[in-house]
Chain A
Amino acid sequence: MKLALKELRRRPGRFATATVILTLIAILLMFLGGLLDGLIASSTGAIRAQNADAIVYSDTAQASFVRSRIDPELRAQVEGVDGVTEVGGIGNVQLGARVPGNGPRDLASVALFGYELAPDGVPDAPAYGQAWADESIKADGVEEGMVIEVGPARTPIAIIGFVKDTNFNGQSSLWASPDTWRDTLSANRPDAQLGPDVFQALIVRGDGDDLPDTIDAATGGATDSYTVDEAVNAIPGVTEQQGTFNQIIGVTVAIALVVIGLFFALLTVERTSLYGVLKALGARSSTIFAGLVAQAVVVTAIAALIAGTLVVLLDLLLPPGSIPLLITPSRIILSVVLLLVAAVLGCSFSLRRVLRIDPASAIGTTS
């Protein structure tokens, strides 16, 4: 292994091609992962932020706010369930918003929530006509104190401050009182307007191992309840996005594996004579193979380090909100681990060849 690492140090040019290709693959892998995380984060922030033991939709809603209706009678049933300690209504409407200073067609996409129980990181509901906004809306030119006009009815909403990581369906969220939300919904989506005290869903806090199932049983199936994690995955499109991106990431890892496998297979062929000599001198096949693996791991680690640095720099340079890229340490670490596994597996293609090298080939040959 010492020998292999010395070769890396003394002949870095020999490994430059593989390092460059692996760096590009690592950048792709981390960028794809960052895009997936960014997309999911921008789609699910409003649900992830909920401090809830159950999120309750109506039975046919399929975890969609638009399709869900919770009237006061159903809410009362939920409030009466054993173990339930707090219940708050929540509703949502997704609209375009005119921002002062922007052109008339340059609308900011917003998801306005009306809420009773404050999500994590969001203060209590503000006064009528006001809202906390997710900071991603700053990319649309929105500033604190600004009044934006929401929807075709141009409902004025005053932005009184910003919160973080609460976006929904890729849109900047606005957090307002139930009355602000209900009136905005009625004014801009007359077809979807709701009566007084009717919400789209309930945020439920309480005790019990399986509160969502308990609630659904208590309402006789009139509700469809989820834990926060289940509700996140149930948001339409989330699972599909994850599936698609994970398949692309899987293919990218497979390409890394093939690149490493081919590179080190070629290197092994090229070194057959040297390995024959080393075996004649007493090297075990395991020593030679361990050297190959060490080289692959070091080359991959260097490529991953360069790629990680570049991706973090890219993330810093990109204007906030321009693309849904979220680079996290866990994503970088996961990508590095996947690449290192690919490196070791790729090297294993050469194991048979190393085992088959005959030390006798060192004698009686001129090369």
Chain B
Amino acid sequence: MTTAPAAVSTALQLTDVRKVYTMGDGSDVVALDHATLTLGSDEIVALVGPSGSGKTTLCSIAGGILSATEGTIVVGGEDISGHNAKELTKFRQDKVGFVFQSVNLVPFLNARENLLVVDELGKRTGAPARARADQLLEELGLADRAKNLPSQLSGGQRQRVAIGRALMNDPALVLFDEPTSALDTKLGEQVMELIQGEMKSRGIAAIVVTHDERITHYCDRSVHIVDGRLEA
């Protein structure tokens, strides 16, 4: 169990969260075991652990794409513990951002359109969303790459587009899934500096899933997870 140091407000509050999968033979597998975790509103936490330790499960539950078996999950002040699938979809549109392991930009959309996908799938605000996308691209140093397709961008640029996409809905929490795993050391460090700068400057909390201990110093603290249990 681990808690944030004196945060004024919390972006994420996991309390005694369990996730149990029932297997085909009737046996139970505990993927997350009484996990309690609190993130301050601009806190960056590295979630470190070996494969199969429960990192993905925790991230999925915090991001509202998986329901917990037990426990309470509050993100950005919204208790999603009892949300149904439709409510979770709405929650994901409004409250969280994701940066996936292999970036996963939509290949036939240019950088700007990849950011606008979030608005198209969610609130459909139109002009304000376009202005925000342009602003984010500018801030991420991609203004001159707005019309480029992902295939015309470098690995680092794609990662920045993915970060821009995660920030489009002005989330309370961004989940980074192994953001440096596909990058060389130097580029990985640049990306982590970017993540740190963007999250801190915007006051957005983040969980960075990784098994690379070298990048944890870009985070405010590290949380280790082993066999579904969190260790400070």
Interface positions of A (Cβ within 8 A of B):
2-3, 6-7, 10-11, 273-274, 277-284, 287, 358-360, 362-367
Of the A-B pairs whose beta carbons lie under 8 Å apart in the complex, a sample of 20, sorted by A's number, is: A2-B120, A3-B106, A7-B108, A274-B104, A274-B107, A278-B106, A278-B117, A279-B65, A280-B63, A282-B90, A284-B86, A362-B100, A363-B59, A363-B65, A363-B100, A363-B101, A363-B175, A364-B177, A366-B181, A366-B182
Considering the complex, which residues of chain B in the window 117-132 have a beta carbon less than 8 Å from any beta carbon of chain A? 117-118, 120-122
Quick one: CB contact mask for B36-64 with A, threshold 8 Å, 1 for yes?
00000000000000000001100110010
B121 touches A363 (CB 8 A): no
A10 touches B108 (CB 8 A): yes
| CB neighbours of B89 from chain A (8 A) | 279, 282-284
| CB neighbours of A277 from chain B (8 A) | 98, 100, 104, 106
Interface positions of B (Cβ within 8 A of A):
55-56, 59-60, 63, 65-66, 86, 89-90, 92-93, 98, 100-102, 104, 106-109, 113, 117-118, 120-122, 165, 175, 177, 181-182
Interface centre among A279, A280, A362 (most CB of B within 10 A): A280
| CB neighbours of A273 from chain B (8 A) | 104
Closest to B169 in A: A282
Task: Give min CB distance, B92 to chain A, whole Å.
Answer: 5
Task: Give min CB distance, B58 to chain A, whole Å.
Answer: 10
B108 touches A366 (CB 8 A): no
Looking at the complex, which one of A10, A359, A363 makes contact with B56 (CB distance below 8 Å)?
A363
| CB neighbours of B102 from chain A (8 A) | 365-367
B66 touches A360 (CB 8 A): yes
Looking at the complex, which one of A7, A287, A362, A364 makes contact with B121 (CB distance below 8 Å)?
A287
B101 touches A365 (CB 8 A): yes
B98 touches A3 (CB 8 A): no
In the bound complex, what is the Cα–Cα distance between A363 and B118 (angstroms)? Answer: 17
B101 touches A3 (CB 8 A): no
A282 touches B121 (CB 8 A): yes
* Shortest Cβ-Cβ A-B pairs, 7 listed: A282-B93, A364-B56, A359-B65, A10-B108, A277-B104, A282-B92, A283-B121
In the bound complex, what is the Cα–Cα distance between A361 and B104 (angstroms)? Answer: 12
Known A-B contacts A2-B120, A287-B121; A362 and B98 likewise in contact (beta carbons under 8 Å): yes
B118 touches A282 (CB 8 A): yes
| CB neighbours of A278 from chain B (8 A) | 106, 117, 121
Interface centre among A2, A282, A367 (most CB of B within 10 A): A282
| CB neighbours of B100 from chain A (8 A) | 277, 280, 362-363
In the bound complex, what is the Cα–Cα distance between A367 and B92 (angstroms)? Answer: 21
| CB neighbours of B63 from chain A (8 A) | 280, 363
| CB neighbours of A364 from chain B (8 A) | 55-56, 59-60, 101, 177
Task: Give min CB distance, B150 to chain A, whole Å.
Answer: 12
Interface centre among B92, B93, B104, B118 (most CB of A within 10 A): B104
